[in-house]
A and B are shown apart, each in its own frame.
Chain A
């Protein structure tokens, strides 16, 4: 109610809202002072005015919040801290009058300011002379600290004040010369003592609910932005689909990618060269028993490969210091951990084979093997946070590996939240030293771009099962069948190469020849077995 007026004045003054707010911010000091001065007079008015002026700039950014009814309901709670210095006020505030007075005095600061600024008088202002007078009477009484036996007069003054308020409201509603904001203020004031036009207001409310603009205000702090973007029911998106767009196929993707030239190549190279400068530092950290972890946006595979080269060049004796590179992003290899460990074992001693078994057993025997040799292994792991390595068992094995003093461990991490992979004990056994290595270079092998995007869009991937599918099938086969497949694919590729010049559409390989080769490599012993194996691949011999 009261705020309505204020808004109008602000408009009238043609001052920016912010400036008036700034002034409002200065006010509490005044009011606070006056509270202390006049507190003992037993007038609750001043103290409550204080509350309201607080509530006004508590939510300076958000008009909705200002008008919320909750605001009106809570002043007493909020009042307490500011009341604290004068204990007598606390008892006063609980008297029933407090609430009644509230509406009256809130307005005073702005009104006083209005007169002081000497703006041009307007119709409303002139009409309000009685009201102003009564308000002034009220203020003066408070200032003078007159005791409350003149209550009758005061009540009259209050009465005048209130009625003029109502008048004004009606004027406002009828006049409609104010902005949307103002009306909203009116509507948002449910505790108005005025009995009039409830129905009218509500009718208006329906018509004038504030349209939420789809673009949030700029430069919101992150948490605000989160709530703005997560408003209930706000997730309105258009119904456009990508149906008009021909989605990329793998072939097209790779074909186009080959021709695409990144305009930032020079910049990326420059960035790389900066990272390369810190190679010796990393090497030093590694030599001191730390593990190095590189993070930041962009693929770090090429960088790590360069680092491997750097290490290789600086190693004086390659037989007791070897480098193993592990690609964590390789998908669908359930046995990858086993692969990694056995490769490391091979790096230690090519003749030795690790005992088969669970990774823990392998790790133990690897440890034994390492302690038997005087050797340092640098393990370079690309994408430690890649999906295949995210299972907890993997990380603890890796941590053990990294904790071994003979292992120097370097890894890269691509996702922003990779640190969540490790608990404190894993982290301390990794003993990581982190470096920001933002490379901006594209993830080429790490990601299967087309499949990923199609999955993201909920489309069926074109390739059935993709790499996972192939790996799954291959894994489920016998050794011989796999070898035969290897042979077959090799043969087909050779023929394709040969026939590339001629116009062979469907290159074929000769059945007899494949069979002979298979026999030579001990894949199968009889033609019967050969045919059975071939059936796995659903090739009927006629196709050959």
Chain B
């Protein structure tokens, strides 16, 4: 009790400090103890790594009925699976920039040879509006350049560059610090003759570089070059170019708009001292697409996301943020949510952990809607015996493991179909959209698939030839980005059929060519002739089917066969129809939305205007505030306030107490930016915020 009081006291005291170390255990010997402890802990740390640190971050679900073991396996599964996905995403990110990196590096390496004298070689990297992912790009760039061109790279952000002196200081400091890490410390403040340098004197850098025998480029990377003050940038460039004869500088500019616009911001003389080339970076949308394929649609993706969440995510990417780190974070958060809140999630990916299933888990499994549906269909199909068997827990677990393992087959089947689907160039929906639709609703013979079959029907012989070749190629090669292995061996009859059709089409075409007419099918557009007739001053349109030759007929037959086959093959059920999809399917957009797209203003307004949502009271002043015009008379609002709160009412307050509450509320409104002082009239305030806008 006494100690808790003391803590409270400390808390009250600390509230006026700008910052303090939180340590409720008392601060008697604060300075000595941590140091002592550390010696002990270091040894401990090596044996029990962060896992102890985090073990408590997951909670036992099922109102605490979940066993520690299940909880742990949930957490471990999460960590294991996410790290795999994360690794894949990062390798994608690294790969995407690789070609740009190579180009830039080779340009800068060869720059000294072909750059005209007194010009600074500079690489302009068109990054696009995605500032947030620039960090990674420039990190990679500086890494590559340091390793390959053994250059020294200084990365500058507009935030670092408040003035010229600060920039120079940072440049010098960064270079010297990097070199000094591996040896004894260089004293950059004194020159050889003992003269002291100012810390922004490039002479210091010069002498420092002189100490090191290698003569290599000093590359200065301006990450967000548009955000730099243009006069500062001009000054810096001209200053550095005057040092060019002593220090070999080179520049990297990250340009979000275009080189022309960037150039327009610099003075002409500055521009003349630059000699550069332009490099493009892969744009966000295509990277997102790649990430989507590797992390979400991938055949080894441990959990799937439903169309609600994914649609939301992708839309937000397209329309608002367009930042890759944000996308990855959102994905991670979805993973976190799934494993944190779903007690069955430890069964992912293939139910191997089913040993830790508790009776409670089994009860939940039995209650899952997907399971119930599966049983119902079994009963309807007169498979009562199988259905009855599931009353046995062991059988249920067997069935569970079985259906979880079926998921992978399902994914692969679906991905194969989608690949066949997207090989058709007439379909121009993005892969992500198709995937979301397919994974949710399954692939059937409706909707856009109709369109797909239609487009195949209408294909010209050369198109269908190309399409068939592409399909066969896909089957032969698989799709690495989706984790699809070649499946040509698994479907020999399909392959045989397709190659048959392909050969036949080829033959027909050449035959037809020999005979001098163009091969076409019943459905292809040109078989219909549009006829225009003018009858009694009216225009009549009519279609006539041109006569088909034998070749055309047999081509039509081939296409029919192909279509039949596709219709047979292209069928897969949606994720929601899979039994136990709740284990691996996550499709809830609320936590994502709440957590990443906060609406603080609405929340605040709601709290103030309808406080009974949270409490049983009313925030009176705010309501009065809402009713006022743009100028508020403090005296009036006070009297209105007092009239409601004051003594005249039941359980009213006396004037002074009401006044302190009034004061407090006013101060809060001011702090939240609702009102400000107005000089128009005495005791008046200006209204600054309107609800709901």
Contact = CB atoms under 8 A, between A and B. Distances in A.
A360 B169 CA distance: 11
A252 interface: yes
B660 A446 contact: no
B257 to A, nearest CB: 15
A158 interface: no
B663 A248 contact: yes
Contact of B667 (A257, A321, A449): A449
A374 to B, nearest CB: 6
A309 B131 CA distance: 37
Interface string B10-45: 010011111111111100001100110110111011
A263 B645 CA distance: 13
A436 B681 CA distance: 38
Contact of A263 (B16, B59, B166, B617): B617
Given A241-B682, A245-B638, A326 B18 contact: yes
B675 A456 contact: yes
A416 B44 CA distance: 45
A428 B323 contact: yes
B656 to A, nearest CB: 6
B615 A424 contact: no
Interface residues of B, number: 110
Contacts of B336: 284-285, 288
B631 A238 contact: no
A330 B16 contact: yes
Contacts of B598: 293, 295, 419, 434, 436
Given A241-B683, A264-B617, A280 B595 contact: no
Contact of A323 (B22, B37, B615): B22
Nearest to A376: B53
Contact of B636 (A240, A263, A268, A449): A240
Nearest to B39: A319
Contacts of B576: none
A329 B24 CA distance: 22
A260 to B, nearest CB: 6
A242 B638 contact: yes
Given A288-B336, A433-B595, A457-B634, A248 B660 contact: yes
Interface string B645-676: 00000010000110111011011101111011
A358 B165 CA distance: 12
Interface in A65-83: none
A483 interface: no
Interface stretch (A10-18, A146-154, A336-344, A535-543): A336-344
A503 to B, nearest CB: 28
A154 B439 CA distance: 69
A453 B56 contact: no
Contacts of B44: 317
A501 interface: no
B170 A447 contact: no
B332 A288 contact: yes
B281 to A, nearest CB: 16
B690 A428 contact: no
Contacts of A436: 594, 598, 603
A416 B600 contact: yes
Given A297-B604, A418-B600, A319 B18 contact: no
A495 interface: no
A347 B678 CA distance: 45
B6 to A, nearest CB: 13
A322 interface: yes
Interface of B: 11, 14-25, 30-31, 34-35, 37-38, 40-42, 44-45, 52-54, 56-59, 131-132, 134-135, 159-160, 162, 166, 170, 173, 224, 321, 323, 325-326, 329, 332-333, 336, 340, 594-596, 598, 600-601, 603-605, 607-608, 611, 614-617, 627-636, 638-639, 651, 656-657, 659-661, 663-664, 666-668, 670-673, 675-679, 681-685, 687, 689-693
Interface of A: 215, 221-223, 225-226, 229-230, 234-242, 245, 248, 252-253, 256-257, 259-260, 263-264, 267-268, 271, 280-281, 283-285, 287-288, 290, 293, 295-298, 301, 305, 308-309, 312, 314-327, 330, 333, 336, 339-340, 343-344, 346-347, 349-351, 358, 360-361, 374, 376, 380, 392-393, 396, 413-419, 423-425, 427-429, 431, 433-436, 438, 440, 442-443, 445-450, 452-453, 455-458
